[in-house]
Amino acid sequence: MALKHVNAVVIGAGAGGGIVAKELATAGLSVVLLERGKWQTAFDCRKDDLRNQRTWVLGNAFGPDEDRNPRVFVDLEGRERVVTPSDNSYNNNAACVGGGTFSYGAMAWRFMEQDFRMRSTYGSVEGSTLDDWPVSYQDLEPYYEKAEWEIGVSGDDSNNIFRAPRRRPLPMPPLPPNREYQILKPAALRLGLHPFDLQMLRNTVPYNGRGPCMRCRWCVGFACEVDAKNGTHNTVIPKALATGNCELRTESVVKEILVDSRGRAKAVAYFDANNRLQEQTADLVVVSCSANESARLLLNSKSRLFPAGLGNRYDWVGRNLQGHGYCGSIGLFDFETFDDAGPGPGIAICDFNHGNKGFISGGLLTNEFIRLPYQFSKMAAPGVPHWGAAHKQYVRQYYPRHMVIMGPVQELPVFDARIQVDPKVKDYWGIPVGRLSGYRHPNDMIVAKFLSQKAAAWLKEAGATTTFNFLPWKGLSGGQHQAGTCRMGDDPRTSVVDKYCRVHDVDNLYVIDGSVHVTNGGFNPVLTIMAIAYHASEHLVNSWRGTHVA
């Protein structure tokens, strides 16, 4: 039996898709929200420190499942291999209702004004497709605000002199400082830095009908046991369903987007929870599968009119894949720095996001989420053995006496860092899988070295007796912060979607997620994905002229 025609199909119930579904359903459109993962609860994760979205040695907890979702990864030497989601090279982002927002650390950054004008700020860069966004910070400001109030953000960035102007303060105050914060703040001030209270999508007081953070140590990578971490799964998606206009179908794996003879999207072919192929017709199709899977879906949607896949007339789909290489420093102290007050990070600086001398871009720095004991066992200082009695003594002594300061490098987009569709390997459903290949721009490592030195200096000022730095790996970057593969732009020859996230040559097809980011900021990208989703949704609703089906 054919499925009932709807106004819109939204593919992917993550940060972008959840918001779009809610905005469209609230405006009265009938919506089907397809999600390949499940609707999980905190009970499905239960603070498993070896199986979560941060540490996946025993598997990833939030999908996609290990057995049915391979990818092909091509390393810097050109060797290719098939990888599963719990392999680092897979560059996984969680597949469940809420997407990454279900288990993330929930830092809630607005990008800075320069982050939308990288080409204007730094000029053209060899080896990079660096460009300006077609929207400005000012265009997105009201939508950042909407995300902060509707999803729920706590913190206080009033001491951040580098921030872009905001009209409204955040709806919730920051968490009380933990011991790390108390040690790091005076040290930052002595160094002339400008520390402030980190913003997070986290309840610190009762908000939206849910209670505050209980400050446990299992935050980033875990589902929140008390539902104080705000994602789309506990805010906009329930609202969308409550309108009665939105139906959520989980465990639905989309195969391709079908077009009609005029080249408009007409339906989505997907495998339902029982692995039966279904066809859902709709007036609008919104792709919100995050950078890797959105590009894969467009590339897999081949037809006579679009032989290279949808939106791919000029070969831009899947390119400019970027994420965030993390860098920073670990400091050892001769006094206790650990007070077990989660989530851990609370103090941040934006002194080094822009305006650095001799290179392009930069990134924020903040103290890290609580390191669980297994994670710390991997943080042996130089000269400390990696096993044996001395290693054990090191863990015992420094677990409660260490701090980590780190931050994401704003990466320069590279045309050859990309996801394609593999010609041979298929997933469980017979759909060609993503094939990742490419490299970083050399500027990334320069930024990483610089930022990690600044992190080390901050730790030393705070009293660290030893510091040692870490840098991102040299290969392709596109993990949980994956972005860039369906770039937004005014010129259809050098971008995939317009500034409202509409695919240039298919007027009822949208990509609304991190894929559209031209550049990814020196910040966690989720709040920007949310702002873009509100911005695009408003345009969608305003331009809605009713169904095409009588």
Q: How many CA atoms lie within 13 A of 9 on its CB side?
A: 28
- Taking the CB of residue 50, how many other CB atoms lie within 10 A of it? 12
493 binds other proteins (CB under 8 A): no
Omega before residue 432 within 30° of 0, cis? no
**Would you say 139 or 272 has its CB closer to other proteins?**
272
Report the amino acid identity of residue 510: Y
313 binds other proteins (CB under 8 A): no
**Would you say 317 or 372 has its CB closer to other proteins?**
372
274 binds other proteins (CB under 8 A): yes
The residue from 389, 423, 545, 550 that contacts other proteins (CB under 8 A) is 389
Measured from the CB of residue 482, what is the shortest distance to other proteins in angstroms?
24
Measured from the CB of residue 63, what is the shortest distance to other proteins in angstroms?
15
The residue from 119, 217, 460, 539 that contacts other proteins (CB under 8 A) is 217
Please state, in angstroms and rounded to a whole number, the distance separating the CA atoms of residues 70 and 67. 7
The region of 32-40, 129-137, 384-392, 486-494 touching other proteins under the rule CB under 8 A is: 384-392
The residue from 27, 38, 39, 46 that contacts other proteins (CB under 8 A) is 46
**Would you say 286 or 380 has its CB closer to other proteins?**
380
395 binds other proteins (CB under 8 A): yes
Cα dist. 395→279, 373, 375 in Å? 55, 8, 10
Give the dihedral of Cα atoms 484, 8, 146, 174; nearest 10 deg.
-70
The region of 26-34, 371-379, 424-432, 492-500 touching other proteins under the rule CB under 8 A is: 371-379
Site string for other proteins, 320-349 (x = CB under 8 A): ------------------x-x---------
391 binds other proteins (CB under 8 A): yes
Measured from the CB of residue 389, what is the shortest distance to other proteins in angstroms?
5
Measured from the CB of residue 407, what is the shortest distance to other proteins in angstroms?
26
Q: Which two tokens stand for residue 34?
A: 């397809």
Query: 249: which strand partners?
Result: 34
Please state, in angstroms and rounded to a whole number, the distance separating the CA atoms of residues 39 and 35. 9
The residue from 81, 392, 474, 493 that contacts other proteins (CB under 8 A) is 392
**Would you say 379 or 459 has its CB closer to other proteins?**
379
Measured from the CB of residue 226, what is the shortest distance to other proteins in angstroms?
6
The footprint of other proteins on this chain (CB under 8 A) covers a number of residues equal to: 36
Torsions phi, psi for 160 (to 5 deg): -85, 95
Cα dist. 242→18, 56, 236, 237 in Å? 13, 34, 10, 9
Q: Which two tokens stand for residue 503?
A: 């695919």
**Would you say 370 or 451 has its CB closer to other proteins?**
370
81 binds other proteins (CB under 8 A): no
**Would you say 1 or 389 has its CB closer to other proteins?**
389
The residue from 4, 168, 190, 386 that contacts other proteins (CB under 8 A) is 386
Measured from the CB of residue 400, what is the shortest distance to other proteins in angstroms?
5
425 binds other proteins (CB under 8 A): no
Please state, in angstroms and rounded to a whole number, the distance separating the CA atoms of residues 451 and 471. 9
Q: Which two tokens stand for residue 517?
A: 């980011």
212 binds other proteins (CB under 8 A): no
The residue from 123, 373, 383, 423 that contacts other proteins (CB under 8 A) is 373
Measured from the CB of residue 84, what is the shortest distance to other proteins in angstroms?
10
Give the dihedral of Cα atoms 420, 422, 426, 430; nearest 10 deg.
70
The region of 44-52, 154-162, 462-470, 529-537 touching other proteins under the rule CB under 8 A is: 44-52
Measured from the CB of residue 398, what is the shortest distance to other proteins in angstroms?
9
Rg (Cα) of the chain, in Å, rounded? Answer: 22
Report the amino acid identity of residue 32: V
Measured from the CB of residue 151, what is the shortest distance to other proteins in angstroms?
23
**Would you say 60 or 232 has its CB closer to other proteins?**
60
205 binds other proteins (CB under 8 A): no
- CB-CB contact of 546 with 30 (8 Å): no
**Would you say 241 or 395 has its CB closer to other proteins?**
395
CA 433-482-259 angle, to 5 degrees, is 50
- Taking the CB of residue 165, how many other CB atoms lie within 10 A of it? 8
Q: What single DSSP character describes residue 18?
A: H
Query: 82: which strand partners?
Result: 72
**Would you say 149 or 429 has its CB closer to other proteins?**
429
The region of 98-106, 156-164, 305-313, 368-376 touching other proteins under the rule CB under 8 A is: 368-376
206 binds other proteins (CB under 8 A): no
Report the amino acid identity of residue 403: M
Q: How many CA atoms lie within 13 A of 519 on its CB side?
A: 36
Query: 404: which strand partners?
Result: 330
Could you give the angle at which helices 526-542 and 137-147 cross, rounded to 10 degrees?
Answer: 100
> Minimal CA–CA distance to 97: which of 206, 244, 240?
240
79 binds other proteins (CB under 8 A): no
The residue from 225, 251, 272, 507 that contacts other proteins (CB under 8 A) is 225
**Would you say 252 or 301 has its CB closer to other proteins?**
252
DSSP string, 375-416: HHHT-PPTTS-SSSHHHHHHHHHHGGGEEEEEEE--PPP-TT
Tokens 């702002």 — which residue?
531
Please state, in angstroms and rounded to a whole number, the distance separating the CA atoms of residues 517 and 34. 23
The region of 39-47, 289-297, 325-333, 359-367 touching other proteins under the rule CB under 8 A is: 39-47
The residue from 136, 303, 377, 453 that contacts other proteins (CB under 8 A) is 377
Burial class (CB in 10 A: 0-12, 13-18, 19+), 312: buried
CA 491-496-500 angle, to 5 degrees, is 80
382 binds other proteins (CB under 8 A): no
Please state, in angstroms and rounded to a whole number, the distance separating the CA atoms of residues 83 and 431. 16
Q: Which residues of the chain form contacts with other proteins (CB under 8 A)?
A: 43, 46-51, 57-59, 214-217, 225-226, 274, 338, 340, 372-374, 376-378, 386-389, 391-393, 395-396, 399-400
